[in-house]
Structure 1
Amino acid sequence: MVIDSMGPHAATGQVLVNCSVFDGTGDSSLSDQAIWIRSDGTVALVGDRQDVMDAAGANPEPTTVVDLAGGYVMPGLINMHVHLGLALPGAMSASLDRDNPAALALQMAGNARRTLLAGVTTARLVGETDYTDFTLRRAIRAGTVPGPRLFTAGHALCCTGGHGHDSDGLEADGADGFRRATREQLRAGADLIKVCVSGGLAGEHEAIETPQLTDDELSAVVTTAHDWRRTVTAHAGPADVIERVLALGVDGIEHGYQLTPEVAAEMARRGTWYVPTITVSRCREFFEEHQVPAWMMERALGAGPRHWESLQHAITAGVRIVLGSDMPPDAPFDGTTATVREMEFMAEAGMTPGDVLRAATSRAAEWLGVSGQIGTLTPGAVGDLLVLDADPAADVSALRTMHAVVQGGRAVRDDRGHWAKGRTA
């Protein structure tokens, strides 16, 4: 898949100087670097300041020099588990009129803008309502509204009464029913397929352990999606269900609340991707603020210890882990955003800073099938980047010091006015 650099670009090329760079691929940041971004929003060169200035100067394109005052630069974040129309049971659902397409579209557009300003320049949507996500994706690509680059599954697929049936799920039954539901998402333009194979945290009449699809139903989804060269990711909690769906060929697991060492090892052997979304079982303040019902809070927080063990099993086994918050990416959480707190939890569970940063950048891009195009600061990649005060490769909590966000070479957040002070080379 070839992607563009999103919406309007900067009027001229840019050379960002006086910075250190984590490029999304290694384990450390390099000091005294410069980044040349072409006017089309793509990275031309990253390296020693004088070498980059010389190369940019030899190009006839007008160039603006932006002094980042010693900041640390890294690729924009890729959040792989996002619901821009999220409405948990309780006050959130009561405040959202899902029967009003305009209201839903405006909420999703507002959430998209806040997500971008929080440093998430690309998001993977894994369940939205009434195909509004596809309209929003087109609007963001056209530059009509600001937001992250979107990869979307359309509706999540579930059985009748299954997980998500009362929110973003599309109900189906039987192999033919799920085959049709999959094709409906593909017809709308889905980049991937999301299927709910067990219960979860937000379904009142289910348990995390409740299996919800038969083998022939899931096989119909996987076969159809793979025929169309789309990946399939599964909302799945219990180990026995995950073990069964791995054998049926799913490409990724969302949540995995109850992984065992044996199932984690099988995921690693198969190269299955894992999005732990560890924040969703550790966010009491968020639940209280949004007045979720007691049954959901009890279930979610009660799942926390076992969920944490699952993440650690996956780390030990060498499972391919990527970042996903499930909570709104920009939601205030423990003094930062849900996205950054998810990364901190991943580090606390045992991942190295480099592993966490790659999970949020280049590894996520790999799963999306766009390696080298996003998630790195290397020649040819889109110029999506963040500017921080501290080194994220030393401690991912450095992301709490973020003060600039650039998407496709265009500064969409510039707290310090670095781009306003830019000078012509």
Structure 2
Amino acid sequence: MHRATEQVLVNLALYDGVADHLQADQGIWIGVDGMIRAVGPVDDVLAEAGDVPVVDLGGDVVMPGLTNMHVHLSLGLPGHLADEVHRSNLAELVLLMADSARRTLHAGVTTARLVGEGRYADFALRKGIEAGAVDGPRIFTAGHALCCTGGHGWEADALEADGADGFRQLTRAQIRAGADLIKVCISGGIAGQYEAIDTPQLLDDEMAAVIRVAHDWGRKVTAHAGPADTVRRAVELGLDCVEHGYELTDEVTRLMAERGVWYVPTIVVSRCEQFFRDSGVPGWLMERALGAGPRHWESLQHAIRNGVPIALGSDMPPHAGYDETTATVRELEFMVDAGMPVADALKAATIRPAEWLNADDKLGSITAGKHADLLVLRDDPTRSVSALRTLHVVMKGGVVYRDDHGRTRARR
């Protein structure tokens, strides 16, 4: 089991997730409990900390750990990924997910929102990570995704129901298992062979049943959704978040902004041809995904322009290689390319997801009283999110899980 060490980080520039600029000559005091005890001008922090070991970061930049809001640790796209998942027994599945969790953490993602896993393995993994038996990000999970009979995701362990009563029962079953949120598939998508992206799949009373039960139990609902009209119906019924939104319109994104409905665009999934080839997906899936790219891009631009609250999510494995970086970093770069200011993109990967998760009192920024989930970069992320390509240290809860150059061992 890893344990935090009390220490003060010095000789660093700070992006704290609150201010939009770097703060020079800062210090961060981390307690033995892995919580941040003080942040501020280095001399003030050192004076407050007293006789505590000091770690010199050589002038590098420290920022909050990333949160990826659309993760499947047991990703089962048609092809060899699905084959590997489906032929695994439960123990093997948990081990596969644990390996993906470790890689995700090493990629700088210290918090992950899981939006559809299989066989309730995510709850066992979450327990193992919280106990320190497994290396991985902090997990917020929906358990199984919910869909109609034959609906999106049924081949990938989504649970099927029909009618309002059926969806009420499945929603309660996920909450009983320990779900932090509920994920429901309300339209077709890119990975279902016998559907189209714009196929509506839930009736209004079915969507309303999921949302009502979840909200009664204090859980938010996020929806896999493609077409604008289906999204509009769900938003009017009280939906909290939209995943993908392949075909959003100006009108619908205005409604989302007005109602405070969040958007996780996963823009990488409609432009990741090499990942699909490496994963051995069938030709129809690749053609549909890449063909959705232009409208998906327009959807993201509508959302940015109309002020929809946006959070980072990759759908691809967070650690997956993409253009000489990871899917997580590439997603952020795409969001900026689509018109999002760098300052907003950084917040979409740090403090804003924490707000959606109702965890911003402990996560999302480098502030006294929060978990010491920190990244160390060589370059300045407030100038370009591509600075995340220079990531070389990952810390979660005051414990170093990655240190490419041994920087955190250099104490004076």
TM-score interval, smaller chain:
over 0.9
Aligned to 2:223: 234
1:410 equivalent to 2:399? Answer yes
Residue 304 of structure 1 corresponds to 293
Match of 1:255 in 2: 244
Contact 1:97 1:103 in 2 (8 A): no
Percent of counterpart pairs with the same letter?
Answer: 62
Deviation string, structure 1 residues 5-43 (Cα, Å, up to 9, x no partner)? xx74323x1110000000011211111111111111111
In 2, the alpha carbon distance for the partners of 1:283 and 1:272 equals: 27
Distance, in Å, in 2 between the alignment partners of 1:387 and 1:79 is 18
TM-score by length of 2: 0.99
Distance 1:242 1:10 in 2: 44
Question: What's the CA shift string for 1:253-286, capped at 9, x where partnerless?
Answer: 0000001000000000000010000000000010
Q: Distance in 2 between matches of 1:235 and 1:422?
A: 48
Which of 107, 118, 121 is 2:96 aligned to?
Answer: 107
Q: Of the candidates 362, 374, 379, which is equivalent to residue 368 of structure 2? A: 379
The residue correspondences of 1:15-414 to structure 2 (distance < 5 A) are: 15-57=8-50, 63-98=52-87, 100-414=89-403
Whole-Å Cα distance in 2 between the matches of residues 352 and 334 of structure 1?
21
| Deviation per residue, 1:80-132 (Å, 9 max, x gap) | 00000002101211233355111111100000000000000000000000000
How far apart, CA to CA, are the structure 1 residues paired with 2:176 and 2:85? 27
SS of residue matched to 1:154: coil
Root-mean-square deviation (CA, aligned residues, Å) is 0.9
**Structure 2 residue matching 1:394: 3-state secondary structure:** coil
Q: Partner of 2:139: helix, strand, or coil? A: strand
Match of 1:9 in 2: 3
Q: Which residue of 2 aligns with 1:4?
A: none
**Maintained 8 Å contact 1:372/1:378:** no
Q: Aligned partners of 1:331, 1:168: CA distance in 2, in Å?
A: 22
Deviation at 1:202, TM superposition (A): 0.3
| SS, match of residue 155 in structure 1 | coil
Q: What amino acid sits opposite 2:361 in the alignment? A: G
Query: Could you tell me how far apart the structure 1 residues matched to 2:85 and 2:359 are?
Result: 34
- Separation in structure 2 between the aligned mates of residue 221 and residue 205 of structure 1, nearest angstrom: 24
Structure 1: distance between partners of 2:67 and 2:182:
18
Question: 2:25 is matched by which residue type in structure 1?
Answer: D
Amino acid at match of 1:194: K
Instruction: Give 1:332 shift.
Output: 0.3
Residue matched to 1:3: none
In structure 2, stretches of 5+ residues that fail to align are none
Q: Could you tell me how far 1:222 is from its partner in structure 2?
A: 0.4
Residue identity matched to 2:172:
R
C-alpha distance in 1, partners of 2:347/2:139?
19
> What is the CA–CA distance in structure 2 between the aligned matches of 1:287 and 1:96, rounded to whole Å?
17
Give the aligned residue type for 1:166.
Answer: E
Counterpart CA distance in 2 for 1:383 and 1:243 is 39
d(CA) in 2 for partners of 1:107, 1:252: 28
Aligned 8 A contact 1:275 1:322 in 2? yes
Deviations 1:275-318 (A, max 9, x none): 00000000001001111100000000000000000000000000
Q: 1:98 to 1:185 in 2, by over 3 A?
A: farther
Q: Offset of 1:353 from its aligned partner?
A: 1.1
- Cα deviation 1:226-271 (Å, max 9, x = unaligned): 0000000010000010011101111000000001000000000000
Unaligned runs of 5+ in 1: 1-6
TM-score calculated relative to the size of structure 1: 0.96
Deviation at 1:218, TM superposition (A): 0.8
- State the number of aligned residues: 412
